[in-house]
Amino acid sequence: MKNICVIGLGSMGMGMAKSLFRAGFNVTGVDTQTKAVEQFQQFGGQAATSLADYNNFDAVFLVVLNEQQTLDVLFGNKGIAKQLQSKCIVFGCATISPSGAKDIETQLKALAPNVFYLDAPISGGSEKSALGKLSILLSGHKDAQEQARPYLDAISEKCFPLGNDVGTASAMKAVNQLLAGVHIAAMAEALVFAASQNIEPKLFLETISQCAGTSWMLENRAPHIVEGDYTPKSSVNIWPKDLSIVKDIAEKSHVDIPLARTALAQFMEASQNGLGNEDDAAVAKIYAQKSGITLPS
């Protein structure tokens, strides 16, 4: 039986760990929050007790917040890189810059030349993670990708192989986040605009979701506004981080992204106004506040 470690048992990582466990793998969960680890143990998973445990893993999924946390886990004071066994596959699942992904691969090769690093950002949200139906963008060593297939099949509905170069998958994730962030902001803007014309949010959703102006984000996020329920499936705070990555990449590439910059500003304002831990659909509250519109509660 293959031994898998999932580091980061948050809204995405917990679902991934449970999906791997259900698929028959021996799964160890790691998180700074003791309650998350205990929850996974109650499900049947294991907890790491020391750095020595990391010498037993065939694969490690890093489902952490950002590039810095990825670096800390691998190369920090209690970094695991030197502990990993030969042929172990490390999956970098956080949204980071392409250059950051390449730097991580380079550092890992220097410390553990026989360990593979795959650029593997994830998409789909907590609900799809819980169902084992994520979308995974994948690039890196060809042989490692082939060896990783059983693990990826356990957690994903779709896996997109994007070549053998680490960084390509992170670049594609940035493209996805540009579109997703803009679509959420556009949905919020359109819903508030509709409300200003005496169109109720429920009617807006029922109608526009069947018209050419719809989007996956409209169909997925607008119901949260209609129901007045901002329990986070994906929080506002994700978007200042991810769209800032998009902005940085664009600036280095001399590409103008006016729509993404506008969406970034809206999410930053939402976060600064205390909405950071609410569902990202709560960006609509910023539009509504500025327009004197009352949303469902």
pTM given for the model: 0.95
> Distance of CA 124 to CAs 63, 129, 135, 192, 282, Å?
14, 7, 6, 26, 19
Domain that holds residue 215: 171-291
According to the model, what pLDDT value does residue 49 have? Answer: 86
Instruction: Tell whether 296 is covered by a domain.
Output: no
> Distance of CA 268 to CAs 83, 99, 280, 289, Å?
39, 24, 11, 15
Task: Confirm if 133 and 157 have CB atoms less than 8 A apart.
Answer: yes
Per-residue confidence of the chain (297 residues) as pLDDT tens digits?
A: 899 999 999 999 999 999 999 999 999 999 999 999 999 999 999 999 888 899 999 999 999 999 999 999 999 999 999 999 999 999 999 999 999 999 999 999 999 999 999 999 999 999 999 999 999 999 999 999 999 999 999 999 999 999 999 999 999 999 999 999 999 999 999 999 999 999 999 999 999 999 999 999 999 999 999 999 999 989 999 999 999 999 999 999 999 999 999 999 999 999 999 999 999 999 999 999 999 999 999
User: Do 186 and 160 share a structural domain?
Assistant: no
| Number of domains into which the chain is organized | 2
* DSSP reduced 3-state for 60: strand
According to the model, what pLDDT value does residue 1 have? Answer: 85
Residues belonging to the active site: 173
Domain boundary among 165, 182, 214: 165
Residues 125 and 35: their CA atoms lie apart, in Å, by 21
According to the model, what pLDDT value does residue 76 have? Answer: 96
User: Do 225 and 135 share a structural domain?
Assistant: no
Task: Confirm if 26 and 53 have CB atoms less than 8 A apart.
Answer: no
**Amino acid at residue number 266:** Q
User: Do 254 and 154 share a structural domain?
Assistant: no
According to the model, what pLDDT value does residue 224 have? Answer: 98
